[in-house]
Amino acid sequence: MFKYFHFTILIIILFYLSILLIMFFFQRSFMYHPSSKNYIPEKITFNYEEIFIPVNSEISLKSWSTNIHQNQKTILFFHGNAGDLDARIYKLNAFNDLGINFLIISWRGFSGNQGKPTEKGLYEDANSAVKWLNQKGIKNENIILYGESLGTGIAIELSSKNNFGGVILESPYTSMVDMGKKFYPFLPVSLMQRDRYNSIKKIKKITSPILILHGKADNLVPFYMGAKLFDEANEPKSSYFPTFDGHMMKYDEGMKKNLENFIKSLP
């Protein structure tokens, strides 16, 4: 009986260790979902050009851009961890209704782009997009970084090191370590996590105006994370926290009005 007990404990330990190894080596497969198709196709109501922004000799990013004018505000949109550019058409239609330019990029490994997504790689992708806009004559002071879910960590990283015209964060998380603890409480996430996106640590470094959008019914990224980031953010800051919105927020009149008011408030 005693030997059987020890054998059972050994099997449990080996099973747990095997889970740790699988999760460690394949963790990015659980984090990034470039092939997901979780959206209803929308009709495009804006004029755009499909371009490919070079990152390095191997990677160019499929992107959509409206007509870029040097002295106009331009949204640089960083999408979340699932799907491709088509999944954001309803948001881009809203930007067009507001009369603002935009550039939306697709990350490495998404939308047929070469490469595999990593934290360091996505920062490189985002910086390449900023550089592309700069080369078109758009100064950072006229760039509004818009991060959606995963993209909020990239927007926070860039704006913590440079000043931009504004920063919009939709459904943001405090860090990927915190998110990992939420989904895998039985794992030592703090030790295992490679791509950490530590937004809560960086947000105090941002001096650009910030708008944080987060639905209180978000069942993926808990609302308290967006609220905590808002509390930690420097002024000037504003928020839109609708009661019934989930992770993919509704682009209704309330959302559009808050976006419009924020953009109009920028110098």
Catalytic residues: 149, 218, 247
User: In angstroms, rounded to a whole number, what is the distance separating the alpha carbons of residues 89 and 181?
Assistant: 32
- Report helix, strand or coil for 37: coil
Q: Which residues pair with 63 in a beta bridge?
A: 51, 105
What length is written for the chain?
267
- Report helix, strand or coil for 110: coil
Nearest in space to 146 (alpha carbons), one of 74, 197, 98, 41: 74
Q: Which two tokens stand for residue 141?
A: 């002071």
**Residue 177 backbone phi and psi in degrees, to 5:** -65, -45
Share in percent of the chain as helix, strand, coil (round to 5) = 45, 15, 40
User: In angstroms, rounded to a whole number, what is the distance separating the alpha carbons of residues 235 and 216?
Assistant: 22
Q: Which two tokens stand for residue 264?
A: 């109009």
